[in-house]
Amino acid sequence: VKAVLKRPSNAATIRTDLLAVLLAGPDATLPAAAQALDTKMGGALARAIASGIATAKAGSGTLVPAPKGVPAQAVVLIGLGDGERDDFEAAGRTLGKQAGEARAARAAVLIPDGTDAASSRALVEGTSYGAYRYLPHKAKDPQAAPALSELTLVGSGISSAEVARATATAIAVSAARDLVNAPSNHLTPSDMAARARRLAAEIPGLTCTVLDEKALRRMKAGALLAVAQGSAEPPRMIVMRYQPQGAVKGKKLLGLVGKAMTFDSGGISIKPSSHMEDMKMDMGGGAAVIEGAGLIARLGLALPFIAIVPSAENMPSGTAVKPGDVITAMNGKTIEVINTDAEGRLILADALTYAVREGATHIVDMATLTGAIVVAIGDVYAGLYGSDADWTDAVKAAGETTGDLCWHMPMHKGYDPLIRSKVADLSNSSNKREAGSVYAAQFLREFTDGKPWCHIDVAGTAMIGGAGTGFGVRLIAELAAGMAAKR
């Protein structure tokens, strides 16, 4: 969805397929800007509110067909709740969904006076989210109307720069959702790399280098190679770098790391077949990092970064890594593979080592790492772990600003017995069924060389109801924007 800005004097004259009017709580008063429109509609809007059909409940939507003489095809009354940022996002999602159902290609929305920029952006992002469909593998329907492609914002409180930022954000989130939704036979590690390369080709200042098997062997990336060795698909380590024009080198370097298992069968420690198809989403962290990195560069934020996305497929075969095997990670630490299904922490181990070696000063990784975090906190919050209080606070705040909610989870050396091995430096899994998400984080920390680092376990939030969410893209861009402003 591309958002455009207009300031027409009269809502009754807006030519569009679907015109949204937002109803603020508690008593859902019709905004003044919609009064003339309602008059032209014979009072239908006021009646819908008076009868209680249309309410201010956040995200509720009531479609009212427009009569002849009104250039909009239909009006949708959307509840705005208390008018918080999240309510604007929910209102947008409803608008996007209604536009899909009404087969509207163009929509417009009246922005209430006094709406702040963050809320206006949330409205655009929500609309794009609600209108999103994943259809590349469906037969083309010749009757199908084009999806919502243009959203006109009507109001005075938002600048065209903010609108452009919201549009770029919505496009990046949709792109991450496409990656998560893509079946693993259509999105291999090489395909992930191709996507990163394309972004780098499009955006000034952004470069991409892809390390193949040979390069990974030369670098002794033993953990990533071990995870990939059971699959016919070769692994990749995708490296994106951004050096904005005029930014001073050598101060802060943001390190973004994202897990990208394009399919996780569990390997020899194979998963149960029920819902195994969802494991095409095990690259959700990597998708957020690639598209988040692209968004930072697209917005031209004045903050250099390095983004590292290790990508592989976890498969059982005659060449697969086996329980009990001892492997050597890139930093020289040995790992006993107790469970081949705890593969994410292995590929991240080498990616974190690489980030540190490349000079990252502040690291954040995103990964669909554990089922345990889903059991603990479900799909509302992602689990946030950190080694540095200030950095963790910054990551958490960026999530709160953008709606990518993160809950701060504990780390403590008291959990370390769970990552100890009798035969190697570390064990990738414990047979105790406790603190599964915590000790995964504890394991990752071993590869961060004491740098300020955060880990976000997005196993519960990257895919909801079988569909990718793009969780993390906006958090990454917001985090970078905050760091750029402070430099």
| Active site amino acids | 271, 345
Whichever of 180 and 210 has its CB closer to ligand BES, that residue is 180
Q: Which two structure tokens, joined as six digits, stand for 157?
A: 């409180």
Q: Does position 419 bind ligand BES by CB under 6 A?
A: no
| Piece of 154-162, 232-240, 342-350, 478-486 that binds ligand BES (CB under 6 A) | 342-350
Ramachandran class of 65: left when φ > 0, alpha when ψ lies in -120 to 50, beta otherwise: beta
Residue 152 binds to ligand BES (criterion: CB under 6 A): no
Rounded Cα distance, 444 and 411, in Å: 11
From 343, 404, 446, 478, residue interacting with ligand BES (rule: CB under 6 A): 343
Q: Identify the H or E element spanning 350.
A: helix 344-357
The verdict on 339 binding ligand BES (CB under 6 A) reads yes
Q: CB count, 10 Å around CB of 86?
A: 18
Report residue 384 as tokens. Answer: 């946030």
Q: How far is the CB of 344 from ligand BES (least distance, A)?
A: 4
Q: Is 264 in the site for ligand BES (CB under 6 A)?
A: yes
CB atoms within 10 A of CB 15: 13
Q: How far is CA 322 from CA 226, 263, 269, in A?
A: 9, 18, 8
Chain positions 449 to 478 lying near ligand BES, rule: CB under 6 A, are: 459
- Least separation in angstroms between residue 428's CB and ligand BES is 7
38 is a site residue for Mn ion (CB under 5 A): no
- Is residue 333 helix, strand or coil? coil
Strand partners of residue 151: 3, 107
Q: Does 365 bind ligand BES (CB under 6 A)?
A: no
Q: Min. distance of Cβ 58 from ligand BES in angstroms?
A: 28
342 lies in the binding site for ligand BES (CB under 6 A): yes
372 binds, among Mn ion, ligand BES, Zn ion, none (CB under 5 to 8 A by kind): ligand BES
Binding-site partner at residue 283 among Zn ion, ligand BES, Mn ion, none, CB < 5 to 8 Å by type: none
Q: How far is CA 130 from CA 20, 175, 399, 466, in A?
A: 14, 14, 20, 15
Find the binder of Zn ion among 264, 336, 350, 457 (CB under 5 A).
Answer: 264
Binding span for Zn ion by CB under 5 A among 65-73, 224-232, 238-246, 263-271: 263-271
Contact 231, 315 (CB under 8 A): yes
Q: Using the rule CB under 6 A, is 181 a contact of ligand BES?
A: no
Query: Of the listed pieces 107-115, 237-245, 338-346, 395-403, which binds ligand BES according to CB under 6 A?
Result: 338-346
Residue 86 sits in the site that holds Zn ion (CB under 5 A): no
Q: Which residue is nearest to Mn ion (CB)?
A: 341
Q: What's 251-268 look like in SS3?
A: CCCEEEEECEEEEECCCC
Q: From its phi and psi, is residue 398 left (phi > 0), alpha (psi between -120 and 50) or beta? A: alpha
Q: How far is the CB of 164 from Zn ion (least distance, A)?
A: 36
Cα–Cα distances (Å) from 263 to 149, 282, 428, in that order, read 32, 6, 19
Strand partners, 208: 240
Only segment of 206-214, 353-361, 368-376, 443-451 that touches ligand BES (CB under 6 A): 368-376
Q: Say which entry of Mn ion, ligand BES, Zn ion, none residue 365 contacts (CB below 5 to 8 A, set by partner kind).
A: none
Please identify which residue in 59, 126, 285, 344 interacts with Zn ion, judged by CB under 5 A: 344
Here the contacts of 431-435 (C-beta below 8 Å, separation 24 or greater) are 431/338, 435/372
Size of the site for Zn ion (CB under 5 A): 4
**Residue 264 touches Mn ion, criterion: CB under 5 A:** yes
Return d(Cα 302, Cα 245) in angstroms, integer. 8
Identify the residue among 25, 157, 244, 371 touching ligand BES (CB under 6 A): 371
Contacts of 25 (CB under 8 A, 6+ apart): 56, 79, 80, 81, 82, 83
Cβ count within 10 A of residue 297: 27
By CB under 5 A, name the binding residues for Mn ion.
264, 341, 343
By CB under 5 A, name the binding residues for Zn ion.
261, 264, 282, 344
By CB under 6 A, name the binding residues for ligand BES.
264, 282, 339, 341-344, 368-372, 374, 429, 436, 459
